[in-house]
Every structure is written in C-alpha cells, then in structure tokens.
Amino acid sequence: MKDGIFLGNRYQVLSKVGAGGMADVYKGKDTMLNRYVAIKVLKKEYREDENFVRKFRSEAQAAAGLLNPNIVNVYDVGEDRGLYYMVMELVEGITLKEYIARKGKLSHKEVISIAIQMCTGIGAAHAANIIHRDIKPQNIIISRDGKVKVTDFGIAKATTSNTISSNAMGSVHYSSPEQARGGFSDAKSDIYSIGITLFEMVTGQVPFDGDSTVSVAIKHLQEEITPPSELVPDIPYSMEQIILKCTQKNGERRYSNTNALIQDLKRSLVDPDGDFVVIPPLRSADTVIITDDELDVIHGNYDDEYDDEYDDDEYGSGYSSDDEYSDGYDDDEYDDDHYDDEYDGYDTRGGKKRRRGDEDVNPRMNKVMRVLMVVVIIIIAFILLFTIGKAAGIFKSFDKGTKAEEAEETEAKVKVPDLLGKTEEEAKKILKEKGLGFKVATYEESDKYEEGLICKQKIKAGEKVAKNTKIEVVVSSKLVGEEIVVPDVAGMDESDAQKKLEGEGIKVGTSEFVYSDQYAEGQVIGTTPSAGSKVTKDTEVIMQVSKGEDKKTIPDVVGKKDADAQAEIKSAGLKIGKVTYDYDNDVEEGRVVSQSPSSGKKAAAGTAVNLLVSKGKKPDEKIQVQNFAGKDESELLEWARANGLNAKAERKEYSNNYEERSIISQNPSSGSLAKGGTIKYVLSLGMDPADLSPSEDTQ
C-alpha cells in the first residue's frame, strides 16, 4: 500500500512497520484526533477470499470491546476502496520473542513481571468470554516503557459457555493438546499456551520442536515436556511447578483461570523455592493416545491450517530495548505403577475395578459407542427426511442452486485489473500474472486514447472472475477530437508536473508511488499514457512518482548468535561486511557484541553490515615469576609493578644470613602467576641483636 494515502478520509498511512500471516501493519496518523496509530490492512491476496475477510472482521469484533492496559486496543475498523483495515493502538517496542532471542533466557523476576501483565490482559479477554487461541511470544509486545501488551486476536472467538468446539488452532509450538486434536478449546487452552511461553522465557527454547507442524502437534499430544530444571538447573522450584501445572495434558489439572495463576506467580516472587503449587492428581490417562485414523485427520487439519503459518513480528518497528527449577514431582510419585497400586480394586466411581482380562467394555469405549449410536440415528433421520422431501419435489430447486454454488466455488476468483491506457503487450503481461486470458474484441475510435491503446474493457476493473477467464478489450483505432500531446514531466516534482499537465489541458488522475534508484523521492518517473502519446482533454493521465531509493531497515542483531545474525542481515536485503572476533567478558562466545551501522537506521539494499563477535571471556595473562631471594626489596617491588603484579611483605624477621631489607623468601618463588596476582615475601631485619658480642655491640 502506498505511503501517504488516506483510509476512510481520516487515517493517513505513513510507513510499513511489519507483516503477519493475513495482514500488513502500517504506522499511520489519525488526522481527526491527531495521534499516531497502527493500521492493519488485509493482504491483497486475501481480500478476494470471503473466509479471510470474515476472519479479519471477527478479529476486530473480538478485540474492539477489550479496553485494558495489557491489551493492544482496537479503535476502529472499516473498508475503503476494497481495502479492509483495522485501526489499533500504536505500541513502540519489541515482541517477547525478540526479547528472549536477545537475552537467551530471562531472570526469575523478569519472567514473573512479564507473565503477570500478560495474564492480566488475557484474563480481561476471558472475562469478556473471548479466548485468544494464539498465545505465543510473537503476540506479546514489550513497549519502550516496559508495559506488556497482548495483541493479535486473529483466531479469537467469543463464546457464551465455558467451552466451545473449534478447529481454529494457533501456532503449533504453543498449541494445547485439545487444539492439536481439534477438540474443545477454552480458557485453559490459553493457560497451556501461557505455560509454553513461560517455558521459553526461562529456558530460551520451546519444549517441542520437529521437522513439520504435524510432528510438533503429535508431541503436544503424546509427550510430556522436559522439566525446565534439566535445562536450567538453578530455576526456582515454585516456577518450575507453575510451568508444569500450566502445561498438563489434561486441562482439569491446569490452573482454572488466570487469577489463580497470577496468585502463584506473585507468591513465587517472594518464596521462589516454596512448595505451594498444587497439581491435582491423575484421574484418567494424562497422555492422550491417538489412533491412526485420528492421526490422518490431524495431518489434514495441519496441512490446511498451517500452510500459511507465520512468526512475523507485526509490530517490529525497529526500536531497541536498551534461569530456573527442580522437578515438581518425580516419576515414582505419579507413575503408572503407583496409580494402579493406589486405586487397585476400585474404578473412578468408587465401585469395584475390573481387571484387564474382564470382557466388559471400558468406560471410554462405552462413551464412544453412545456417541456413534446418536450419530447413526441422526443420519437415518436425515435420510428419511431427504427421501420424503425429494419425492415431494421440495429439493429440486435447492439441488440446482447448490450445484451452481459448488461449481462456482471450485474455481478460484481473481479481481480484474485496470487495463485502460495500456498497450496490448502490457495488458497481456498484467493479465498473465493474474492467471487470466486476453482477447481483443474490436477496434474503435476513441475520444480519450490514441491508436493502439486499450480504450474499453468488457469486464470492469475490480470485478471478480474465475481464473483463466479471457478478458475482452476494445483497442483504439484512432484518437478523435482535439488532440493533446502528453508532455515529458520525468524528473520534475509531482506538484510542478501536475501543473504542467493541467496547463496543457490534461486531466490528471491519482498518482502511483513506486521505489526508484534513479529519481529522488517526490520526483516524477513517467506517466500513463507515456510522454509523447496523444490524448484528449477527457483522458486521465496517471503519474508514477518516486518513493526514493528502496531503503532497508538494519535489523538489531546484537546479542544474537553469529550465524543467526548473518542470516537475518541477509534476509533484510543487506550483506555481511567485516566480521571481527575478539574477547569480551560480558558477552557469551559466538554472540554479536556490536554492529555497524547500528540497528533501526535505513540503508540502501546491499549495504554491508560489520559485526564484532565475542570469543568469550579473555583468558588470564600469566606472568613467569622470578625469585628475588637475597636481593633488595626495592628490586622485587619495581619488577612486580612493571609486570602488573602486586608484592606484599608477609612478615619481617631477623636473619644472620641476609642483609637488612633483603628478601629472605617469597611465595610463589617460581612458576607463573595471573596478572594482578600478589607475591608475598619475608623481609630481613638484619642480624639479631641478641647474637651480637659485647665488643661488637660497643663498636
């Protein structure tokens, strides 16, 4: 979308700041209230899909009623010239995902501070009967003043009951088992995702990863998460317990709501190693077992849901900002053997438990059988109803309509582009890119377009047609009426060019803005029809205006691993300059210490970014020690000072063998000593007076 355009005659688009799976995000200005806002605009490829438009609108409806300091507020939603947009609070900061990547892992206090604010925002949504369904670090923003805000209710859905059935799934690394299975989703599904986010904050990684979204989803269903203490041994006990409770496979074993979770987080702050987190005992199989048939369904779901999965930062606006736990319960306490022993002989209703060898169907199979019976009854009822209706002729017209709709839906719909003023070759190229065909219906005289230019198109621009449809056009055979030659305005400022064109009696349309390396921002690159073409006073001439050089935003890679930093710089359209490796006591080996140019700046595509990468802590410099026994103290002191060492008299003694102020012994007397180390020595006071004879004393 062009910078500078207005939406709804109110919101001015200033610059693009991010992109998500369905929408692009722009920084804009609300000219009515004179404030900066974020404008989310549905991507071009999705505007033609009614399902995406409906999903986009549902996001706005879900979030518009939420007013909370820990939620990105939605101000407005609308549609203008086929652009579906949503106006939101502009948050200047970075995502939690970026913050974790920068720091590696967060401290106990940081985790709790962020988690409490995150849970407060999510809790406000739950109170309004809205389940987020896509909680992940990418959707948590940390503003420049430290405020944490939840955003992107892209697959949120309002509900009036405590659970709803939905196939909507969030990003697979953070999805709850019930979301992965395609079953019920409720507030506890969000709490599971919160737990995975907490895990990533304290360990710097997600608990489950794999080669595909399906493999990750199956791990959520079948595998227990690795206790964080195995990755971060010094994690506080209470924090690990909180994470384990949030990520229980069985939703009943998780926190019932965010308020209960917040209470434990606050308690963990004052009592990190306290044993106060209560995880309800197992009442049924905690790990979900899925059948082969269900696995096929899950594959299908994820093929559909995750082809367009993204982790883009929708609010990455270039701003810069600027560990932990033993297992909550061991395997012996809640393993299968213990469970069988504790409840042996009783079923969950208090009755006598049947052995595995008994022939009775287990309770879970009973439930499945009851559901199947209900489904069969409903199917039989529908068959009878359809048979009777068809015999009475009720469904004939319905059948025709349904078949017509099905046939129409099988073909992809695309919008017809504007071809007026284009040559036949230009039109063919544009249509080919859209998957459409081209046909000249006839040639006619035109009072707007000169010979050879398209003057009419049978299907108007903007209308939707099936792919491979041939678009018929009428080509001008002759320009009739008073002819005007389009002047060459390339290189002129837009306003001056417009005055010149209008001075020739030409009607000027809305300018098109494009990047250019040859023309400065605001200068005209060319026109359609082109300079030298013949038009009439009714012909609309469009100017192509330069947006300037295509500048790239230099990413912030300080603190990131060397390979990751270089990959990010290349993906931003820049290249790697000089990479220097040096010791740094504050930065982990292999991570970027500094970059040049600095992040956030705009640079031409292909600009080189220089990096300084840490080689880890600088090793201590060793000094080879010399032995100064028998030498004067001043020699030792001077040598030690010159070599960066300290020298200190440990004690002073009388000695008949060493002159006064000479060194009797030193420690160490040989070997090496780290720079800054200390040599301790014994200093001679000369001969002991008690050993002197009377005659010597007299002398």
Helix (H) or strand (E) holding 217: helix 213-222
Q: Among 180, 216, 209, 152, which residue's Cα sits nearest to residue 18?
A: 152
> What is the token pair recorded at 384?
């009878």
Contact yes or no for 28/87 (Cβ under 8 A): yes
Amino acid at 354: R
Our answer to whether residue 447 is catalytic in this structure is no
Encoded tokens for 145: 């003043």
**What would the two tokens of residue 93 be?**
């900061």
Q: Which two tokens stand for residue 506?
A: 């030409």
Sign of CA dihedral 367, 372, 375, 376: negative
In 35-92 the beta strands, taken as DSSP E runs, fall at 35-42, 74-80, 83-89
Task: Give the single-character DSSP code of 138.
Answer: G
Q: Which of 3, 76, 80, 134 is catalytic?
A: 134
In angstroms, the CA 245 to CA 253 distance is 7
Helix and strand numbers (H, E) in the chain are: 19, 34
DSSP code, position 269: H
Residues 6+ apart with CB under 8 A from 456: 420, 444, 473, 474
* Closest by Cα among 452, 440, 533 to 488: 533
Return the bridge partners of 38, or none.
27, 88
DSSP state of 523: B
How far is the C-alpha of 7 from the C-alpha of 33, rounded, in Å?
15
- The per-residue b/e assignment along 578-598, b for 16 or more CB within 10 angstroms, e otherwise, is eeeeeebeebeebbbbebeee
Helices (H), 435-583: 494-503, 562-571
- Nearest CA-CA partner of 95 in 43, 148, 134: 148
Adjacent-strand bridge partners of 142: 94, 148
> What is the rounded distance in angstroms from the CA atom of residue 252 to the CA atom of residue 431?
56
* Residues 449/427, Cβ–Cβ less than 8 Å: no
Query: Which two tokens mark 285?
Result: 């199989």
Say what angle helices 108-127 and 237-246 make with each other, to 10 degrees: 30
Which residue type occupies 600?
Answer: G
CA distance 314 to 17: 7
d(CA 376, CA 382): 10
Q: Are 404 and 414 in contact (CB under 8 A)?
A: no
Which of the 8 DSSP states describes residue 481?
S
The alpha helices in 424-481, defined as continuous H runs, are 424-434
* DSSP type of residue 154: T
Q: Enumerate the active-site residues.
A: 134
